Amino acid sequence: MRQRKGFTLIEILVVISIITLLIALLLPTLQRVKQQARAVACQSNLRQWSLVFSMYDKDYEGRFCAGCREIETNDPRHWAMALRPYYYHDRQMTLCPSAIKPYGEGGKVPFGAWRGPWWRERDRASFSYGLNGWVYSAKEFDERSMFLRIEHFWGELNIKGEGNIPLFLDCRSAQGYPFARYGPPEIEGTLLILNAWGQFCLNRHSGAVNCLFMDSSVRKVGLKELWTLKWHRNFNTAGRWTKAGGVQPEDWPEWMRQFKDY
């Protein structure tokens, strides 16, 4: 009886080469699937946040907290403290699955999280979402301390029929106050005085961020689309940085030119 021969070295090398090629072809697909799964989980988190804002809205009869400077997150006027009783026992919803490491602990823009500086270490939470600061119910004192005009603020959470007002979304830090006249940062995630776009203009979900809107809807928003949203009461949604306002592809920073125009 003839004995069966084993594989030759060449045959083994051919099989290994084929397996390596298949892995190389599949890895980008698997990576895209993982990114899509994280984006879906992120949107699920924001839907939970819509319930948080809804409960706060009901308890405080439609008026949102007054707001304060971003660094003072221990202040009861700050959203992170005002909403704390509603999310404190579900810490997973505070983090986008694509951005779970705090800055200073391995987290980097756009996949980093900021830390809420509460007075007891065990009470601290990390966040990768932030508030559209124009939602606050600002008072005259807050206007002076934040150098912002009160007539721009929404002041409430229950504005009917407004699905274009961003409420809560992927964010570099706790909050931001965008102005239509300012453009994006030349380097992603750069924080500039008076220019809040570095807070929200983050390539976290393949050229987009996830956003919870005032009408409780949640969807992906293209980075260039951010300038078409109604951030405050007097925000120009057809401003300089929109197609309607005449922006040209070459006007965008190099890191954004590949993204869809709006």
How confident is the model over 105-121, as pLDDT tens digits? 999 999 999 987 665 66
Residue 216's domain spans which residues?
A: 9-256
What integer is the mean pLDDT of 17-40? 74
What integer is the mean pLDDT of 194-198? 88
- 170 membership: H or E segment, kind and range: strand 166-170
The total domain count for the chain is 1
Q: What per-residue confidence (pLDDT) applies to 146?
A: 59
pLDDT > 70? residue 163: yes
Q: Which two tokens stand for residue 213?
A: 């809107």
Domain annotation covers residue 261: no
Domain annotation covers residue 262: no
> pLDDT of 67-91, one tens digit each?
877 666 778 889 999 999 999 888 7
Q: Is 61 left (phi over 0), alpha (psi -120 to 50) or beta?
A: left
Domain annotation covers residue 3: no
Domain annotation covers residue 89: yes
Please check whether residue 189 is in contact with residue 199, taking contact to mean a CB–CB distance below 8 angstroms.
no
